[in-house]
Structure 1
Amino acid sequence: MTRDTAIPPRPTRRRGRWIAALLVAASAAGAVLAPSATAFAAGHGTAASPASVRHTAPARPWAAERAARQAVRQLTEAHLPGAIALVRDHGRTVTAAAGYADVATKRPMTSTDHLRIGSNTKVFTATVVLQLVAEHRLSLDDTVQRLLPGVIHGGDHVTVRQLLNHTSGLYPFDRDPASMAPYLRGDAGYYWSPRQLVALANTHTPLFAPGTKFSYSNTNYFLLGLIIEKVTHHSYEQELNRRIITPLKLRDTRLPLRTLKIQNPAVHSYLLDKAGHASQDITFGISPSTTWAAGALTSTVNDLARFDEALLTGKLLPKAQLAEMTKAGPFTIDPADPTKGYGLGLEKLTLCGVSMWGHTGTVLGTQTNAFTSADGTRQLILATNADPDTWTADQTSAWLTAARTTLCVR
């Protein structure tokens, strides 16, 4: 399940209930718990888990390196299991990592670890759709009914543009408890086909008339994935590989759907207890089929940075389609932050005084934020392997500080 609103995502009662239920179910099944809170807390800090740093070329410490080191250090000092940061500033890139990729074995987090990137997947999906628009194989004004006849009720009033910018009003299938039922029963590998989950959403009344409001819904991006398959006559995964992953040589980016495994070295994902310490490894708790074209990709921060830079600098889309993608919609998406907006699969944030485009990626047990300036010269990526709905107030504060202040290159 993926959901992206503010940085970090605000907890939802629905997800909170499911997380608690998954914790109980996993414990009953005999899942291995992480070390005790005391032992885990003692493993943090620069002495036990110093931040490791990589940069594009040997160089003396510079502002970006200091910023990346400080960001991951403050997150692990707040007892988040592990953290990775990437900072790019005018051609120079540095990554830093701290804490643990695997709490049980105390394997250190590294900047080359693979992790689930959640709704950063939506940017890939939107890019493929807009490539098809540029090729005149579909239009932003095409309706779902024309492209996928009979798949949803009222499809003749929902456009591709409304799917991309979350103004369709379609019910989010992951709000329906049935979508999580197999996993609560302990069947972690249960596979949902995209059409099954769209059909589940279709049993509910739309939230509002298309085009009248903004409401984030993974149903939109499942439909976009199905549209890609219908128009190209290839699978969604084949089109991702052909159009983005292979040309950009994203060797660490994959779409696992029928396996719970992540390519090695893999980041493990955790629920935290009330004190904010890792209490349950949930890396393999839910099939990625529940997120598909909305959030199932696994990658590294370096691959994600390469993709975002290529997109924002026009290497993947013509100017007209990139302009559409980076045009924030007419509706406020976060009353607490009026500068925040949503384009066509891209979220707009003001970070470090600069307008940046990208996405937040929240998938059970992992949070990854990736943002790039419009000219591609600045990038900020921050990831941690703890579910945001289980963070303490102090951890939330540490994340906000790291994401919005510490990573700023001075």
Structure 2
Amino acid sequence: MTATSRTNSRLSDLRARMVETSTDLVALGPSSHMAWLSGVHPHGDERPVLLLVSQDYAGFLMPALNGAAARQSTDLPFHAWRDDDGPTGALNELLAACKATGPRLKVALDETMRTDFALRLLDAMDAPSRCFTEDTVGVLRASKDAAEFDAIKAAHLLNDLAMTAAFDALTIGVTEREIQAVIAASYKAHGADLEFCSVCFGASGAFPHHYSSNAKLTPDTAVLIDTGCRLNGYPSDMTRCGFFGTPTERYKNVFDTVERAVQAALAAAKPGVKACDVDKAARDVIAAAGYGDKFLHRTGHGLGIDIHEPPYIAGNSTAVLAKGNVFSIEPGIYISGNFGVRLEEIVILDDSGPEIFSEMPRDMIRRP
């Protein structure tokens, strides 16, 4: 599928959702929403950039100095403006082309858009009602197509290689940052970029978002690594844990509990199930083992162009899971001052349940 045909297909799907939700206008700023719909990744600064979509028209408000670069990614029309003129005239022309000049129209705003862009648009319209894009672009992005599946799968296969290299590089005296460098080098060697990486030795693993340091690995230490790359526009995300040496009984008990929580969440995740029920399945296992207060975060998050996007697998989420949803399952137990265990898989939901993208085991015990 060409970029133009993909944009046209997604515009058609978006317009169908707009009819279903009685939305007159969708307004996207420089964001992953804009990239998903149009392929355009504009430079983001204070100059207003907008993609407006109505039933009759789709076009950009585009700073003239960005037009040539953006034109390489889209055939959609530009309503260009120069710095010495300002964007007001071009925005009014774009709204007229979208037939969005009447009173009380319903506009869906990109929730990641700069506030000044959003207010400029709303001020140019005649008392519109407003909402965010969760019922339009958000719904469409949450169901991945075959090309997105392939891209996410490829990124996770590279993650498998990098994670294996990281655990193979564990040796007495190596630092968290040195293992982080092993991971980054593995990504680079296979044409991917480092998206994020947290290498945690011992007590550092009890911080869910630890920043890798110069701490050195010592014998009989728990190791937690959470890392992801970006390949062809899509990311990977994975957490693996192991023990460098002979694992303690406490570590084995915690690891087994988290593994059973992963299995429970995988079993619960099916189309038509609420996200909160998947969270509960994992949380009940951990609570029953006596570690309920050590599970410090939600069970998962969606993944697509963004590392974190809907659906969120959380206790307060009533989102109903659907075929094509991609999300993490990552319960954890964090023992302050000692270690943490989090096991994370990214899955895609099919009719029969979740399919895991990674092809590597979750237990990464290594001997010094």
Query: Which bracket does the TM-score occupy, shorter chain normalised?
Result: under 0.3
State TM-score, norm by structure 1: 0.24
Higher normalized contact order (CA 8 Å, seq sep 6+, divided by chain length): 1
Give the greater-gyration-radius structure (CA): 2
State TM-score, norm by structure 2: 0.26
